Structure 1
Amino acid sequence: MIVARLSDEAWAALLALRSGEATAFDPGDDPAWAIYEPLARRRGGRFVLAQVGQSLDGRVATVDGDAAPISGPDGFVHLHRLRALADAVVVGAGCVVADDPRLTVREVKGPSPVRVVIDPNGRVPLDARCLSEAGRTILVRAEGSMAPTAVETIHLPPAGDGRLCAIALLAALSERGLHHVLVEGGAATIRNFLEAEVVDRLHICVAPLIIGSGAPGLSLAPISRLTEALRPKTRTVALGSDVLFDCAFERR
């Protein structure tokens, strides 16, 4: 299995790429560089990376909703690196209500991304940390729904199934200069982006514990035959405390 250990020099070069700066750093065949470079490098187009941290049996929480800690320390650092390299981090209302995440960068050097909270029907309380933390937050609501005047808001028409359209959201973020997007959760939000076929990379970070029951990390629409299954090009990388499945999709 490939082992990824990111040096301070490599991280500084990745942050330079994120800022659109040139770098003379030579990564060679460093597997850690290959994990982060696609999100860091600004090529003038959109890039979407979805991330889920889960147990060996594919759970992200117990039946009572306890979700911390699932990822080990290296998995947690990995998530904060992704946040630092993204223009925006997207989460759904269920994730915010359940976990009250801050969505800031604290474990590594680097900027915190713009926080984007998908909350079509106003479930997220106004005292949620992602709304009250310093920095920019964008609330995404359904057309016709009320929104707090103190929070920047995008209104989108609901799709036929009641969910907001992932493609329309990405277009609205691009209009605001937010092209490199991290979709952090929860499961319903990641499913929405995967089924819209807008995800370029999926990171499944697996921690060595077995929960046995509880919320699944990924839950897509049922299929009848394995020929319908998603088959991304995948590399397995040891981060230390966790194992990363780095899955690349060909965007249609």
Structure 2
Amino acid sequence: MHVVVNAATSADGKLSSRRREQIPISGDADFTRVDRLRADSDAVVVGVGTVLADDPHLTVKEEALIDERRDRGEPAHPARVVVDSRARTPTDAAVLDDAATTYVCTSERATIDDRMDLADRAELVTAGDDRVDLLRAFATLQAQGLERIMVEGGGELIFSLFEDGLVDELRVFVGPTVIGGRDAPTLADGEGFVADFPTLELESLERVGEGALLTWRTANG
């Protein structure tokens, strides 16, 4: 399995404002790049916070890319994965429509009723007691043939993936915007590291539109 974390941050490293509202950080050139990355993936992963804040569809937008997937014998869109320890994903969320297969990874902490409601709309993966055990959940996804994984956030999930050593590659578009705010979400939130900090190797740096795209490899990659 190869896991790519993809994110867009402001120049000061924020994902959105302190109100958790979506901020226009990137432009058309980066949207095209992200759409290509989705089209080349087997699954797109987000945390439930992203679903609750943005209600994303997580599908490929460009028809030519959809055609390429079909020509390769793949579904029109990659599978969608929501990491949701307490099964809080609304049953009418866009990510649960029938455009593509959706997996919801949850834990034993979620009530049986909430899990059963989601099981009517998605493939349920229960891994972990109080929170999703990402190592187990990703192993289950890999067993389903999902090898090329794209992670689109948010910061809590990204931190947890680094904590568990699951990230192979980090791609960050840095936009020409300053958001600020001590409570604004950053690329990797969670508890934070105090030792054994993950190290990255810069693979490339390129200008994309009015911003810059940095591609890093981890020791896994």
TM-score (norm 1): 0.74
Contact kept? 2:91, 2:121, Cα under 8 Å: no
Partner residue of 1:26?
none
Which has the higher relative contact order, 1 or 2, with Cα contacts under 8 A spaced 6 or more apart? 2
d(CA) in 1 for partners of 2:46 and 2:194? 29
Q: SS at 1:185's partner residue? A: coil
Partner residue of 2:65?
109
d(CA) in 1 for partners of 2:193 and 2:154? 21
d(CA) in 1 for partners of 2:8 and 2:102? 23
Q: Any idea what the Cα deviations from partners look like across 1:2-35, whole Å, max 9, x if unmatched?
A: xxxxxxxxxxxxxxxxxxxxxxxxxxxxxxxxxx
Shift of 1:81: 1.3
Partner residue of 2:159?
191
Partner residue of 1:251?
220
Match of 2:123 among 152, 155, 158: 152
CA-atom RMSD in angstroms: 1.9
User: Aligned AA for 1:157?
Assistant: G
Pair 1:73–1:47, CA change in 2 (3 A): same
Mapping of residues 55-74 of structure 1, within 5 Å = 55-74=10-29
Shift of 1:223: 4.3
Match of 2:187 among 207, 217, 236: 217
Mapping of residues 1-252 of structure 1, within 5 Å = 46-107=1-62, 109-110=65-66, 111-143=76-108, 145=112, 146-148=115-117, 149-158=120-129, 162-213=130-181, 214-219=184-189, 221-224=191-194, 228-234=196-202, 235-251=204-220
Contact kept? 1:74, 1:242, Cα under 8 Å: no
d(CA) in 2 for partners of 1:188 and 1:219? 5
Contact kept? 2:3, 2:168, Cα under 8 Å: yes
d(CA) in 1 for partners of 2:143 and 2:16? 35
Pair 1:212–1:68, CA change in 2 (3 A): closer
Shift of 1:152: 1.6
Shift of 1:224: 4.7
Shift of 1:133: 4.6
User: Aligned AA for 2:89?
Assistant: V
Moved over 4 A (4+): none
Q: SS at 1:212's partner residue? A: coil
Q: SS at 1:81's partner residue? A: helix
Please say which of residues 46-55 and 136-145 is displaced more in the overlay: 136-145
d(CA) in 1 for partners of 2:194 and 2:124? 39
Contact kept? 1:56, 1:208, Cα under 8 Å: yes
How many matched pairs?
A: 202
Shift of 1:220: 5.4
For structure 2, list consecutive stretches of 5 or more residues without a partner in the other structure.
67-75
TM-score (norm 2): 0.84
For structure 1, list consecutive stretches of 5 or more residues without a partner in the other structure.
1-45
Contact kept? 1:141, 1:147, Cα under 8 Å: no
Please say which of residues 57-66 and 211-220 is displaced more in the overlay: 211-220
d(CA) in 2 for partners of 1:147 and 1:59? 35
Shift of 1:56: 0.2
